[in-house]
Each structure stands twice: as C-alpha cells, then as structure tokens.
Structure 1
Amino acid sequence: MKDPLYQAMQSFDPDAQPYPVTALRDHAREESSELPFHRHDKGQLVVSLQGGVMCQAEGGMWMVPPRCGVWIPGDMLHSNHITANGHVYLLFVDPAISGLPEHCCTLSLTPLVIELIRHIAHLEDPSDLNLPHEKQLIAVLLEELRRMQVEQLHLPIPEHPVLQRIAHALIRHPDNRSTVAQWAEQVAMSERTLARLVQRETLMSFGRWRQQLHILIALQQLAAGSSVQRVSDALGYESVSAFITMFRKALGKPPGRYIAEQ
C-alpha cells in the first residue's frame, strides 16, 4: 500500500494551481511517510507542527523540528521523510515571487506564519484564494516569510563521490564510530588527504561534520517521541551524559528542554 502523503502528492500538481500560493495538509499517523525524490517549478515550505521531517536536496540534508519549516526553492530535486507521528503542511509558492531564500534552509516560524499557512491549507474552495481578503493574508504571509530567522540545521553533503559514500553510510548507520584513519583506509586515501577533503568541501572537520548529522538525527528521533536514552544508543554514544553534553554544546540546551520549548 502506498504512503498516503505520496498518494496525495500524486493527485496534486502544485505547478498546475493558478494561484501564487497554495497549501496541503498531512495528518499525523502511526507510520512514517516518505516522499521520494521529485521536483516542481514552485518553491516549497515544509512545515512541521508535530514530529520531525528530514529533507534531502541538492547539497545536503535539512531538519524540520516542530514549529519550523524547510524552504526548498523551485525546480530543485528533493525528498521528504516524515516521522511516524508527524503532522505537516506543505506550502507552495510561485517562483515569480521575490525575496525568499535562493537556497535550501531551515526557517524558525512564528505562530502567525503557521496560522496563516494552516488557514490556506484548510480552505474548502481553492478559488477563494482569489478573494481580496485572502490575497491580503497571502501578502502578509509572504512578507513574514521574508523575515524569518534561518536555523543552522543543515548537513552539507558535497558532490564528491568519496564524501557521498561516507555521508550515506553514516546516515544508514549513525552509530558508526570509525575514525578518519579508518574511513581513509576504506576509501583508499591517506588520513591527511581525507581530512583535508572534508574540511574543503564542508567547511567542517570530520568530527564536526559527523556531529552535525547526529544533531539532525537526534532532533528527528526526539521529535518523534524517542527517549534521550534510546537516541543516545542509536547514535553510538557510550553514555547518555556524553550525548547530552554534545547536544547542549551544539544547541545551547539539553535535549529534553530543547524539544519541550519547540
């Protein structure tokens, strides 16, 4: 049986909608959802109200914790993975509308922005978007989106085949604790060459690059309801306290507090 969100997107072509802005809603369900790689001319904002969303696009991965959204510019190949208890809205924006980010990014959204998107997604008749009142609300929404703060919840995945191989291996097995030297041996490079390659392509050390992946996966799993202990184990930390220390240094708050405030 196909994923319900995938089926909804199969029957909804955002580029065929004659409105500058349209939106879809996806209800929370017990199973996770996966939208495979696809593209459309319109830009897309994936908004998470509950659970977590991981977006893959050209150049990397972006995380959508609750009350945030990932902006994906138009005509960019991307995929979305939504956690089992995820509840999301998909906002589509005409590419002719200016002032929105030119690259993928995670945006921290205000309650006003979320409510405006919710309102658009719940319109029974899409043609209502042509009404003067709705046009005014859309204008407010777009202006607010231009002001939203960008969150650093991004994992760069360069095009270099060696780094692609390592990145996807770590995504599949985030508890892999192989050192740079061990990875270098696997990809037939010297440790120094691999370390320099990671630094040049990602602007991070290898350890910081892997830590960023751990942060994204941790946020996704915590938003889905996993315990701190379970997330710590899944990421291969020797103790919960070591995981909490890493998380606090990266995001300024311990995991429980961060998720509660989101």
Structure 2
Amino acid sequence: MTTTGARDVHRGAVDTRTLPLYSAGEIDVPFVIAGASEVMARDTRWAEHSHPTHELLWNSRGASTATVGSRTWTITSSVGLWIPAGVPHTGWMAAGTWSRAAQFSVHEAPPLSTVPVAVDISDMLRLLLDRLGLDTLAPSSRATTEALVLDVLEPAEQQLLLRVPESLRLAPIVDAVLQNPADPTTLAQWASRLGLSSRTITRMLQEETGVGFSRWVSTARAHRAIALMAQGESIEDVASAVGFRSVSAFGTAFRRVTGMTPGQFRAV
C-alpha cells in the first residue's frame, strides 16, 4: 500500500507507467482479494497493460479514467470499474487523485462480469474493502470479509461511459469536443464543415457509440465536468468550462447523463 501526501502534488508533470500484458490466471496469486492505495503525486498515464487477476478500480478522492478499446469509463468515489483478468486497458489519473484498487484471484473469486462493467461503490463495499487493508486482520476474519465483498459487489445502474467513435470522418468532431468540451459547433455546422449530411453524422455516431450527436457531446462534457469537480472547481466554473451559460442548464444535462445533479455528485 503506497500513499503520497497531497502537499507533494505536481500538476502538469506527467508520469507514464508501464506494466506487463498478462493473460487471465497466468500468475498464481496467494490471495483471494488484495488491495492497493496511492495518492498520485503527478498526472499519471498507464500504458496498455492487463492483469492475471480481476481488478476493481475506484477512488477515495478525485476522478480518473480507464480505457478499453474505444470505451472510456470515468471512475469516482461512488462509481468504480470492474476489469476482468487479461483485458488490456490504459488509464489516466490527475495529480492529487487518491486511487484505490483491489485484485481478485481468478481461481478463488467468481467474476462479477466477463466484460468491463461499472460497479456501485456503496458505503458497505467501501468499508469492507478498507477492512481488508488492515494488517492485523485474522485469517478467519479476512475470509469472512472477502466473502462479504463478493456478496455485495454488483454492477452500477449508471455507467460513466464514453464511447469514442473510430471513424476518421468523425475524428474532427471527436478531437474538437475532447480538447474543448465548450466547443459550440452545432451538428448542422459540423455537417457543412465536413461535407456530410447531419443525418449521416448522426447515423455514424449511432452505429459506433449507440447515441446521437447531442447525447454524445453531453456525455463528453459530463466526463470533463466530473474531472473538474473532483479537482475542486466550483459548479459555476465547471458549467462555463464545459459550454453551458447557466448552472441550471448544466445541471439538467449532467443529470441526464449521470443520474444525479452536480450537487449530489459533489456530496458523494
């Protein structure tokens, strides 16, 4: 278990970490569930890697992302991510994020899912995972706690998931919105700029992401908003940063994507 004091945070300096690519169960581990904890001193990027164990990611503070293929999940203190063993993924954490992870033996712990899935980090689950970090926990108590973790572990009703289309024709839209979520370019304007019809852009987005233009932009904005709020930005400043003229309009769009208001998210 590793922690770094928040006063040592260095924003802007990016640390890139590399880990091996393991297949599921490639390495036998001497545990059922093992946890790790780290407060990130720098903005940190994980190159593509995979684990021989199932992995559960969540944060005690801040927000981070994990990407599998074209899908990027935002991870918070209330919504974690289950990544099955052997699934290649990359990650990003901003400086100051208090990252938590738990590894689950593929032989001792039944998988929650065979594909990545968001997980509800309930108060009960959080307490149980914290208890597993106690060095003084007796073997019988550890076994009981591990069984309870497996019992309460369940998928979240709301996934903080952004699917990024891979079509080169949509790349200008993706690049513009991800770099600047406040980009005001409308669907009609993009259609004119790219020489495509609005219907074609909508169809392509639907095929690759499952949602249309407005919903995709709203989801991208919500993901950036979560990261900004996790860094302590005010709701008013966040609303402006992601392209909304009023807090109420931002709140409506944020709730449509996440299932909660910005205030409710901040209170979690």
Matched, 1:84 2:95: yes
Q: Secondary structure at the match of 1:102?
A: coil
C-alpha distance in 2 between matches for 1:182 and 1:122: 57
Deviation at 1:54, TM superposition (A): 1.7
Aligned to 1:177: 184
Superposed CA RMSD in Å reads 3.0
Matched, 1:137 2:145: yes
Q: Map Cα deviations across residues 3-38 of structure 1 (whole Å, 9 max, x no partner).
A: 4x948x78xxx9563323222111264x43332322
Q: What letter is aligned with 2:52?
A: D
Q: Secondary structure at the match of 1:44?
A: strand
TM-score in terms of structure 1 length: 0.81
Aligned to 2:266: 259
Deviation at 1:158, TM superposition (A): 3.9
Aligned to 1:33: 44
Contact preservation (8 Å) 1:66, 1:223: no
Contact preservation (8 Å) 2:182, 2:243: yes
Q: What letter is aligned with 1:38?
A: H
C-alpha distance in 2 between matches for 1:68 and 1:218: 15
Matched, 1:75 2:86: yes
TM-score in terms of structure 2 length: 0.79
Q: Structure 2 unaligned runs (5+)?
A: 1-12
- Give the count of matched residue pairs: 250
Aligned to 2:9: none
Deviation at 1:258, TM superposition (A): 2.8
Matched, 1:218 2:228: no
From 242, 245, 252, the equivalent of 1:235 is: 242
Q: Greater RCO between the two (CA within 8 Å, min separation 6)?
A: 1
Aligned to 2:3: none
C-alpha distance in 1 between matches for 2:96 and 2:82: 21
Deviation at 1:159, TM superposition (A): 4.1
Q: 1:150 to 1:250 in 2, by over 3 A?
A: closer
Q: 1:254 to 1:112 in 2, by over 3 A?
A: closer
Matched, 1:100 2:119: no
C-alpha distance in 2 between matches for 1:149 and 1:69: 8
Q: Map Cα deviations across residues 144-167 of structure 1 (whole Å, 9 max, x no partner).
A: 21x343323111224444446643
C-alpha distance in 2 between matches for 1:64 and 1:197: 27
C-alpha distance in 1 between matches for 2:40 and 2:220: 25
Matched, 1:43 2:54: yes
Contact preservation (8 Å) 1:51, 1:84: no
Contact preservation (8 Å) 1:105, 1:151: no
Aligned to 1:202: 209
Q: Map Cα deviations across residues 163-208 of structure 1 (whole Å, 9 max, x no partner).
A: 4664344222222222223334555533321111112222211101
Q: 1:99 to 1:39 in 2, by over 3 A?
A: closer
